[in-house]
Amino acid sequence: ILNVEQSPQSLHVQEGDSTNFTCSFPSSNFYALHWYRWETAKSPEALFVMTLNGDEKKKGRISATLNTKEGYSYLYIKGSQPEDSATYLCALGYSTLTFGKGTMLLVSP
């Protein structure tokens, strides 16, 4: 059973704060690492797919890094806004995905 761990479980920050979360996974048999954003009452939305050690991806104020040798990925949000409030999920695999439990982010105005 593949174990994908995310921390922290939840996070409450003020508007304008920068924040980051961690996704940890077994470093053996790595294929791909996905990040998704899931807003309440909406569908999960793909943010990034990363496959190579050292990969860095960026979309607006959100960026992610990948270290396959030590088995972790970081997701960074610069200058958090209330609309960033969501659960951020990471998942391991190509098409057969194993998800972590997510980090719930709340950004207060």
Partner 1 sequence: ETGVTQTPRHLVMGMTNKKSLKCEQHLGHNAMYWYKQSAKKPLELMFVYNFKEQTENNSVPSRFSPECPNSSHLFLHLHTLQPEDSALYLCASSPLGKGASSYEQYFGPGTRLTVT
Is residue 40 within 8 Å of 86, Cβ to Cβ? yes
Tokens describing residue 77: 């949000």
Strands (DSSP E) along the chain, which ranges? 5-7, 10-14, 19-24, 33-38, 45-50, 56-59, 62-67, 72-77, 86-92, 98-99, 103-108
| By CB under 8 A, residue 14 contacts partner 1 | no
Which listed range, 12-20, 63-71, 74-82, 98-106, lies at the site for partner 1 (CB under 8 A)? 98-106
Binding mask 54-83 for partner 1 (x = CB under 8 A): ------------------------------
Q: Which is nearer to partner 1, 46 or 106 (CB)?
A: 46
**Which residues in this chain contact partner 1 in the complex, by CB under 8 A?**
4, 32, 34, 41-46, 49-51, 89, 91, 94-102
